[in-house]
Amino acid sequence: MPSFAEIMSVYGLEFGLGALAMLLIVVDLITGRGRLTGPADVVRLLALGGVSGLLIYSFMFLHASGEVHAFGQLDAFALYFKRFFLATTLFTLLLTAPYEARFSGGRAEFPVLVLLTAMGMCMLSSVGDFVSLFVGLELVTISLFLLTAWRPGLPRSIEAGIKFVIIGAVAAAFLVYGIAFVYGATGALDFAGVSAAIQSMATMPAGLKFGLLLVLVGLGFKLGAVPFHIWIPDVYQGAPTPVTAFLSVGSKAAGVVLLMRLVYTVLGPAAAEWAGVLGGLAAITLLMGNLGAITQTDLKRFLGYSGIAHAGFLLLALAAHSEASASSILFYMVTYLFANMAAFLVIIVVSRTSDDSHMDRVNGLAERSPFLAFVLLVSMLSLAGVPPFAGFVAKFMILRAAMEAALHNPALYWIVGLSLVMVVVSLYYYLCVLKRVYFREPEDKGVLEISGSTKAILLLCVIATIGLAIFFNPLVESANAGAQSLMGALPQGH
């Protein structure tokens, strides 16, 4: 039986997030009677302070340990992702501030659900068995369902919520069904046990393959891989913009962290058999995501398709299956975080009054606010992977890792080639957006006012995006450590 101290050594951050969420509910209850604006501010400040505190704590006091418990572990990989999720959460809460006035109610509850989602995400980076995996994933998914429909007055928000619920439920069903088959074939639910059982088998029985395939499908929904991407455009468009940002980075990362854990730890050496499946998924995801993005006229849908395209890159790295590719995924996620958050914050600002995210809203943005235009420029070019920005380094790392892996697995050459073509395609559509920003006439010539705090966040994203392109070493080292711990964590049983 695990002791409380053992559990806290792994899930301390999650405990902090959960406790913070409960504290917010209580604070809202005490201060919230009769007033509408006051408590939301108190609650928001508390949430921001708490998450920043936890983030700082995770950097200063938390250390990765090689200990593998039955209920999870805090290796360098998990720690890397926990910090990533905390940063994502912090950004989401920061993005909420300029958006919040559009909520008809539930301002104080919004950060509570964001925190609980974050808790689920952090938990997912540490989980060591399928039960925790499922519970953590549901914690993330169900909170996100609710956050997506957070503006009940808006039909689009409700529609997005309903679509998300239905497709999310189907995904969960796939996942559970898959877990049942995996359990049936291996007799274990913990990753170490499943992995040991797989390694003891000469060939995988069909039931096990089927189960793993279904688990892959379930996680593919989270990740936004084609053909499980159908929910993304509508949900991204309909959800409140901060939630879309959260979804695009956090939910994707949740899928990534689990897929990596499963592919590298559970499958272990058997993963080579799965490179074909992952590579095929990567190819169609790259194709559909990039081609789909071209015709979009709504910024949030557009970023949804671009997110699918990025999922394709992540899958390519997974298919490559090496330490270098694992490390490149870790690096990629961080660059994606900064570029994406900046883009969504710009959307929040430009859609301030009209609250729709049609691309016309950014027409002539350069005239209305040169700063915002510059931020969008940096963000789009980083997402496209153009040299002076972090996105370039990330894509380069993935492609290099894939090329190395292709020496053993020639099929990867084709996918790398395809991805290069798709990078060019993506450059086209990202530039289309920038063309609107710099060369179209604005519909409304008024100067856009940006608050100081928004400016500061945007500046941070820009600096990070440029800075990571130049001083990428510290992050790469920490990503390498994460990848190493993931590769090294082959089970010894317990």
Partner 1 sequence: MESLFFYLFGGLAVVTTLLTLSSKNPVYSAIWMILSFSATAGLFVLLDAFLIATVEVLVYAGAIMVLFLFVIMMINLRTSEAERLRLSPLAILAALTFLVLFGRAVSDPGPMLGKAPNDLVGDPDVIANLMFTEYVVPFEALSLLLTAAVVGCVVLSRKKVKA
Label each residue of 399-414 as H, E or C.
HHHHHHHHCCCCHHHH
By CB under 8 A, the residues from 440 to 459 that bind partner 1 are none
Please report, as a single letter, which amino acid is at residue 155.
P
Identity of the residue, 150 or 344, whose beta carbon is nearer to partner 1 in the bound complex? 150
Q: Are 174 and 214 in contact (CB under 8 A)?
A: yes
Does residue 181 bind partner 1 (CB under 8 A)? yes
Restricting to residues 77-106, name those near partner 1 by CB under 8 A: 104-106
- Among residues 18 and 233, whose Cβ is nearest to partner 1? 18
Interface with partner 1, residue 119, by CB under 8 A: yes
305 part of the interface to partner 1, by CB under 8 A? no
Segment near partner 1 (CB under 8 A); pick from 67-75, 349-357, 360-368, 485-493: 67-75
53 binds partner 1 (CB under 8 A): no
Only one residue has tokens 């450059």, namely 427
Cα–Cα dist 100/108, whole Å: 10
43 binds partner 1, rule: CB under 8 A: no
The two three-digit tokens of residue 98, written as one number: 């300029």
Looking at residues 193 to 252 of the shown chain, list those that interact with partner 1 (rule: CB under 8 A): 201, 205-211, 213
Q: Give yes or no for a contact between 157 and 240, defined as CB atoms under 8 angstroms apart.
A: yes
Shortest distance, position 303 Cβ to partner 1, whole Å: 24
Round to whole Å and give the CA distance between 103 and 40. 11
Site residues for partner 1, 370-399, by CB under 8 A, read none
Question: Does 30 contact partner 1 by CB under 8 A?
Answer: no
68-69 and 72-73 beta bridge pairing:
antiparallel
Longest Cα–Cα distance of the chain, Å, equals 69
Cβ-based nearer residue to partner 1, 207 or 488:
207
Stretch that binds partner 1, among 42-50, 129-137, 363-371, 383-391 (CB under 8 A): 129-137
Nearest to 486 by CA among 257, 313, 270, 288: 257
Q: Is 254 near partner 1 (CB under 8 A)? A: no
- Distance of alpha carbon 428 from alpha carbon 430, whole angstroms: 6
Beta-ladder partners of 69? 72
Q: How many CA atoms lie within 13 A of 151 on its CB side?
A: 21
Residues forming the site for partner 1 (CB under 8 A):
1-2, 7, 11, 14, 18, 21-22, 25, 36, 70-72, 104-106, 109, 112-113, 116-117, 119-120, 123, 129, 131-132, 134-136, 138-139, 142-143, 145-147, 149-150, 152-153, 181, 184-187, 201, 205-211, 213
